[in-house]
Amino acid sequence: MRRRAAPAAIAALAAAALVGCASTGAGSGAGTGATAGTVSVFAAASLTDVLEELADRFEAERPGVSVVLSFGGSSGLAAQLTQGAPADVFAAASEDTMAVVADAGLLAGESVVVARNVLEIAVPPGNPAGVTGLADLARPELAIALCDESVPCGAVASRVLAAAGVQAVPDTLEQDVRAVLTKVELGEVDAGLVYRTDVLAAGGRAQGVPFPEAEEEPTDYPIAVLDRAADPELARAFARYVAEDGRSAFEEAGFAAP
């Protein structure tokens, strides 16, 4: 049973770079030779729903295998990894964050981008403040939630706002995108910048206001196996499963192909 810890097709060459020297016959979806074991995954909060689904599917195909998922802001997770936190696989919400881990010499091979996302304005159901676009985030009477600039969703939000010349003064800065979404769902703020997939995941608890400026700053999601993986073969199998077999799950969750 999987546990969740607290706090277009991928090109064949790219998948090969990710999995490294995986054993022959350990193809996508098929078994890896492992009949039991645990894969510990550090992943960006915006990947919560899709990775939980893929972990369930991965476990169902491999009785005795458990996937432990730890979600949070990518930058914080990268910092934990560079400080020695144990994990087998890292899935980040930006290539810059993955580079922090790579530059520390912690990757077992290359990372591979598995999905792409864009920002969207999330508002409470009914959009009571009448938010219609990015410029509304500068309205002084509105309560606004953003991710802190230290995490990818905050960094991309900062770039988008700056490029559009919008001076938003957030009422709260959160450490991951799901925390921003929660503020919106609870009606604690009038609007927040999250990813499009987070708005979809919220269902009727929030609604989205797309804005064209978001397309200028897409977010890519790389995944990689860590050199400290307790079971490298099983870790490679899960990363490959996400990259290859996970395409439909990413599309259903609203992600675009990389």
Residues 80 and 159 in one domain: no
Residue 144 sits in the same domain as residue 75: no
The residue type at 229 = A
Do 188 and 224 have their domain in common? Answer: no
CA of 172: how far to CAs of 146, 186, 205, in Å? 7, 14, 20
Give the residues of the chain that fall short of pLDDT 70. Answer: 1-35
Please report, to the nearest 10 degrees, the dihedral formed by the alpha carbons of residues 254, 69, 170, 162 taken in order: -60
Do 90 and 144 belong together in one domain? no
Select from 70, 72, 108, 74 the least CA-distant residue to 86.
70
pLDDT for position 4:
52
Pair of tokens at residue 79? 């910092």
Residue 37 to residues 32, 195, 239, Cα–Cα distance (Å): 11, 33, 15
Core vs surface per residue 176-195: b (16+ CB within 10 A) or e: bbbbbbbbbbeeebbbbbbb
Q: What is the pLDDT of residue 53?
A: 97
* Strand order from edge to edge, sheet including 119-123: 172-174, 144-147, 191-195, 119-123, 207-209
Domain extent, residue 131, equals 119-216
CATH of the domain at 148: 3.40.190.120
- Tell me if 172 is assigned to some domain: yes
Residues 137 and 48 occupy one common structural domain: no
Q: Is 105 left (phi over 0), alpha (psi -120 to 50) or beta?
A: left
Q: State how far the Cα of 144 lies from the Cα of 172, in Å rounded to an integer.
A: 7
Q: Quick one: 56 and 160 in the same domain?
A: no
- pLDDT for the residue numbered 36: 85
3-state SS, the chain, equals: CCEEECCCCCCHHHHHHHHCCCCCCCCCCCCCCCCCEEEEEEEEHHHHHHHHHHHHHHHHHCCCEEEEEEEECHHHHHHHHHCCCCCCEEECCCHHHHHHHHHCCCECCCCEEEEEECEEEEECCCCCCCCCCHHHHHCCCCCEEEECCCCHHHHHHHHHHHHHCCCCCCCEEECCHHHHHHHHHCCCCCEEEEEHHHHHHHHHHCEEECCHHHHHCCEEEEEEEECCCCCHHHHHHHHHHHHHHCHHHHHHCCCECC
Are 108 and 232 in a shared domain? yes
Task: Give the predicted TM-score (pTM) of the model.
Answer: 0.84
Residue 21: CATH number of its domain = 3.40.190.10
Does 257 map to a domain?
no
- Tokens (6 digits) for 196: 């499009």
Domain count, the chain: 2
Domain-embedded: residue 145: yes
**Which among 32, 6, 7 is positioned nearest to 239, based on CA atoms?**
32
226 and 211 housed in the same domain: no
